Each structure stands twice: as C-alpha cells, then as structure tokens.
Structure 1
Amino acid sequence: MTTFPGSPKLQKGAIIGLDPANPLASVVVFQYNPDTLTRTLTPQTTASSDTSRGEALRLKGPPEETINIDIEIDATDQLEKGDSNTVNMGIYPALSALEMLLYPKSALVIANEVLAAIGIIEIIPPEAPLTLFVWGAKRVLPVRLTSFSITEQAFDPNLNPILAKVSLGMRVLNYMDLGLPSVGGALFMAHQVVKEVMATISSVGSISSLPSTPGG
C-alpha cells in the first residue's frame, strides 16, 4: 500500500498486559485502528437524598469512565507474505494474547492447588495483570476488561481463525481504584493532567475567538 510523501506516520492503538512473569504474553498492537471509540463518563458526586445543603457539587473522585471499541484482526497480509506462524496458526495467537488478560496463570493455579491440598496455604484469588489501553501518546490508561466478544468470521483448512472482530468493553481504573503511588494510579494522574492542559488550551482559544465589544 502506497502513501503520500511526507504523510504522518499512523500511530497504532494497543492493549498491553503488564505481567512481570511474562512481559511479552499480552501485547496486542491493533492491526487496524477502530473507526469509532465510545466513551461514557459518569460523575462521582456526594449528592444523595440525605446530603446536607451546600454539598451537592462536591466530587468523591474522578468520573467513572467506560470505553467500548470494535477491533478487526485479519491474517490476509501475513498470509500473502508467507509468515510461517500465520500459515500454521492463523490469528489464534493474537486472539489468545487478548484472552489471556482474563485468565489466571495456569502455573499459579496449579501451584496453589498443590499447596492447598497439603495444607500449606489458603487459596487466594490471583490478580490479573495491569492492563493498559494505549490510544496515542496522550491516552495511556489502566483499564479492566468488562466485556469481551469475539466473532470469528473466516477459517483456514485447519480451522484456525484468519479473520475476526473483537468487541471490547473496558472500565478505566483511576487513582482511587489503584492508589496514587501505584504504576496504574500514576498513569491515570498523568492522563488527567494532560486533559487539564487540553481543557485550558480550549478555553483560551474560545476566549480569543469572542467578538470584541464596541469601542474595545
């Protein structure tokens, strides 16, 4: 595919799972950026039926934000290039990398089961990796996957998927969820600071575009 000379390099969105035990297992760079991204923000206020007068505008924290996207994964380009992994497995590895964000690690599950069976430890639910939604340099957000739907649309002769649409629902995790000193909490705060700067730029631009008063 040709591009115009001097055209800006396209930044690709991504979903990244930060797992110290296996840093490369859950890194999925979008093959094609989604055409649309839906965000919903719900304010977190202290207002309720029994709130004292004068407290209605107080905020408990940042808004609860959800993000929904549909991404496409297609093996066509890799198959044309003769990529051996794609020829043998289709897009199964890419789908698995996304799905593993929802699975506890098998080694930990087995180890906990063995130790619990001999009475050494009590079973503690394992933690999911810190998941980041990357959408350009200004938006690197810690998220939790809340919905995950895969529609496999085409297969190779060995029934490996070669075309799929993945619908992802995510809840943004903020510093109140993760703690400000944590990696995720710090990333969210950096995101909020960038948003504050963007809002200031917008306000300054809006004020400068106002018509001047007569005689001004």
Structure 2
Amino acid sequence: MTTYPIGPRLLRGAIVGIDLFNPLASVIMFQYNPETLTRTLQAQGMGGEQGDRDEAMRLKGAPIETIKVDIEIDATDQLENGDSNALAMGIYPQLSQLEMLIYPKSAQVIANTILLAAGTIEIIPPMAPFTLFIWGIKRVLPVRLTDFSISEEAHDEHLNPLRAKASLGLRVLSYNDLSIVNPGYHLFLAHQIVKETMATIASVNNIGAVLGGNTSISLT
C-alpha cells in the first residue's frame, strides 16, 4: 500500500488593523483565501508629453499599486459546531471588523464633539488604524481601504447575516506616502527589496535559457 505524504499547510491571508487603544478589534484572518487577487500598478514618471527629454525615464518614486480582492465569510461550520457567537450573531462580528477599518473611533468622535462645543476652532481629523495586507511571508504591505462593498447572501431568523462576500479595494502605501518614522515606510521598503531579489532570480534563470545553458537557481 502506497502512503502519500500530507500536503503542506496552506497559509491564510489576513488584513490587520493596528490600533493602540483596541489591539484586538481588527485582526482579520481570511476564512477562505480568495481564488483571485487583482493588482494594478501605475508608474510614477517625471516626463510628460511636453516634458524635458532628459526627464523622460526618471521615476518620482514607487508605482501606485491598488489591490482588488473578494473575501467570502460563511458561518456554516461554526453553526454546525454549536458556536455560541455564530448562533447569536451570525457573521456580523466579522463584517464589523472589516468595516471598522474605515470608521473613526466613536471615542474620538465624542471627544471632538465636546471640543467643538467648548469653542475649539481647529479639530484634527482622527487617524484610521495602521492597516496591513498580509498575503504570504513575502508580501506584508501597508494599505488603506479605499472602497468596500458587501453582499449578504443568507440570514437567520433574527436577520443576522450568515453568509456574505466582501469586495475590497486597497491602496498600497509606499515610502512616497508615509513618513520615515512610520513602520509602514520600512515595511514597504523591505517588500521592494524582496521583489528586487525575486526579479534577479528570474533574470538569472532567463539568461541561462537564452544562452542555451542549464543555469538555474534554487529558492531553498
């Protein structure tokens, strides 16, 4: 009898919103990894149609990258296992985790309202959580949630959502967008260095193929 080895454990993607005042509010592991992930990169060049010819190939910085991803959330397994939260609330807590990435904190809203009532002229807008999109160990990216739509596909007798699909639009924040003291600045720079390494590996393999040799490089 042939025994097949157990396959490698599949890593799960995640979105993490880091908030010093509530660190557990937005740690969102994907229940199911999305089948597709759409990335768009827009080059940031210096030259224009009427620009200086010497500037045509210069870059202002990293490209603007956007990510589109659909996340499926389903309470079926939790309901079958008798999970008390799923029975009482469905997937409303999980949807709320995603939504809180684009809500200002209620405590800050209340504090600003009090300051306005007291005659404060200028109110600093509240900060969104420092948000990371995690897609494997090679891609940990600071992002901002730019658009968000939810399709609730099933509900319980109390109208709690039981199954939904969330379509997310993410804007990657690079060192062009963040100050050097922001941890996202260094995370993105590390991400670019990894990408440069990957590109070099591909170039070495391609050179070997062009020369008709047997050149290759191992990732392990």
TM-score, normalization: structure 1? Answer: 0.93
Does residue 117 (structure 1) correspond to residue 130 (structure 2)? The answer is no
Aligned partner of 2:159 in structure 1 is: 159
CA distance in 2, matches of 1:97, 1:111: 22
Large movers: runs of 4+ above 4 Å? none
Aligned partner of 1:99 in structure 2 is: 99
CA distance in 2, matches of 1:110, 1:182: 27
CA distance in 1, matches of 2:5, 2:53: 62
Q: Call closer, same or farther: CA 1:200–1:115 in 2, change over 3 Å.
A: same
CA-CA distance at 1:121 after TM superposition = 6.1
Whether the aligned pair in 1 keeps the contact of 2:144 and 2:173 (CA below 8 Å) is yes
Aligned partner of 1:31 in structure 2 is: 31
Give the aligned residue type for 1:145: L
Give unmatched runs, 5+ long, in structure 2.
214-220
Whether the aligned pair in 2 keeps the contact of 1:44 and 1:60 (CA below 8 Å) is yes
Give the aligned residue type for 1:178: L
CA-CA distance at 1:52 after TM superposition = 1.4
Between stretches 22-31 and 115-124, larger displacement belongs to: 115-124
Identity, in percent, stands at 63
Give the aligned residue type for 1:6: I
Corresponding residue pairs, total: 210
Query: What pairs with 1:1-216 in structure 2 (closer than 5 Å)?
Result: 5-120=5-120, 122-212=122-212
Between stretches 175-184 and 81-90, larger displacement belongs to: 175-184
Give the aligned residue type for 2:181: P
CA-CA distance at 1:120 after TM superposition = 4.5
Whether the aligned pair in 2 keeps the contact of 1:13 and 1:29 (CA below 8 Å) is yes
Q: Which digits, 9 at most, give the CA deviation of each residue in 1:111-170, with x for residues without a partner? A: 111122112463221111111110000001111111100000000111100000000011
CA distance in 1, matches of 2:54, 2:6: 56
Between stretches 29-38 and 171-180, larger displacement belongs to: 171-180
Aligned-residue CA RMSD (Å): 1.4
CA-CA distance at 1:182 after TM superposition = 1.5
TM-score, normalization: structure 2? Answer: 0.92
Whether the aligned pair in 2 keeps the contact of 1:113 and 1:123 (CA below 8 Å) is no
Between stretches 199-208 and 4-13, larger displacement belongs to: 4-13
Give the aligned residue type for 1:13: G
Q: Which digits, 9 at most, give the CA deviation of each residue in 1:5-40, with x for residues without a partner? A: 421111000111011111110111000000000000
Give the aligned residue type for 1:148: F
